Amino acid sequence: MEPLVLAIDQGTGSTKALLVDAAGQVVARASAPLSQSHPAPGLAEQDAEELLGSVRDAVASCLRQADPRAVRGIGLSTQRESVVLWDAATGRPIAPLVGWQDRRGADRAAQLLEEGYGDLVRSRTGLPLDPMFSALKMGALLDRHDPARERSRRGELRLGTVDAWLLDALTGEFVTEVGNASRTQLLNLATGDWDDELLEIFGVPRAALGRVVASTGPFGTVRDLDPLPAGVPVLAVLGDSHAALFAHAGWRPGVVKVTYGTGSSVMTVAESPGGLGDPDSPGGLGGPGSPVCDTIAWSTGQRPTFAREANIRSTGRTLTWLAELLGISADQVVDLAAGSDAGDVTLVPAFGGLGAPWWDPRAVPVLAGFDLGTGREQLARAALESVAHQVDDVLTAMPGLRRIVADGGLTRSTALMRLQAGLSDVEVARTRHHELSAGGAADLAGLGLGLWTTADLERRADGDVEIFTPDWSAEHRRAAAARWHQRLTVARDLGARANGSTS
Give pLDDT, residue 303.
85
Q: Return all residues near 366 (Cβ < 8 A) that are at least 6 apart.
A: 346, 347, 348, 350, 487, 488, 490, 491, 494
- What's the rounded Cα separation, in Å, for the pair 106 and 41? 12
- What's the rounded Cα separation, in Å, for the pair 489 and 486? 5
- What's the rounded Cα separation, in Å, for the pair 225 and 231? 10
- Please state the φ and ψ torsions of residue 150, each to the nearest 5 degrees: -70, -50
Q: Which secondary-structure segment (H or E) carries 239?
A: strand 234-239
Give pLDDT, residue 276.
42
Q: Return all residues near 77 (Cβ < 8 A) that are at least 6 apart.
A: 7, 8, 9, 10, 237, 238, 239, 240, 242, 243, 437, 438, 440, 441
Give pLDDT, residue 290.
57
CB 127 within 8 A of CB 139: no
β-pairing verdict for 255-260 and 234-239: unpaired
Could you list the mean pLDDT of each consecutive 10-residue stretch along the chain, which spans 503 residues?
95 93 94 92 94 97 95 97 97 96 91 94 91 95 97 97 98 97 96 96 98 96 93 97 93 91 89 52 38 87 87 91 95 92 94 86 93 95 97 86 90 96 95 88 96 94 91 96 96 89 50
Taking CA 43 as the corner, what is the angle to CA 57 and CA 245, rounded to the nearest 5 degrees?
55
Q: Which secondary-structure segment (H or E) carries 135?
A: helix 134-145
Give pLDDT, residue 275.
46
pLDDT in tens, 108-147: 999 999 999 999 999 999 998 889 899 999 999 999 999 9
The chain-wide mean pLDDT, for the chain, equals 91
Helical axes 162-171 vs 48-63, angle rounded to 10°: 60
pLDDT in tens, 12-41: 889 999 999 999 999 999 999 999 999 998
Give pLDDT, residue 12.
87
Compute, in degrees rounded to 10, the torsion defined by CA atoms 88, 48, 78, 330.
Answer: -170
Give pLDDT, residue 473.
96
Task: Report the percent of the chain where pLDDT is more than 70.
Answer: 96
Q: DSSP letter string over 31-50?
A: EEE---B-SSTT--EE-HHH
Q: Return all residues near 191 (Cβ < 8 A) that are at least 6 apart.
A: none
CB 48 within 8 A of CB 160: no
Length of the chain: 503
Q: Which secondary-structure segment (H or E) carries 206?
A: none
Q: Which secondary-structure segment (H or E) carries 179?
A: helix 178-181
Task: Report the percent of the chain where pLDDT is more than 90.
Answer: 79
Give pLDDT, residue 271.
77
- What's the rounded Cα separation, in Å, for the pair 438 and 284? 33
- What's the rounded Cα separation, in Å, for the pair 112 and 291? 19
Give pLDDT, residue 36.
92
CB 82 within 8 A of CB 138: no
Q: DSSP letter string over 420-472?
A: HHHHHTSEEEEES-S-HHHHHHHHHHHHHHTS--HHHHHHHHHHSEEEE----
Specify the pTM: 0.86
- What's the rounded Cα separation, in Å, for the pair 366 and 304? 41
The amino acid present at 446, given as its one-letter code, is G
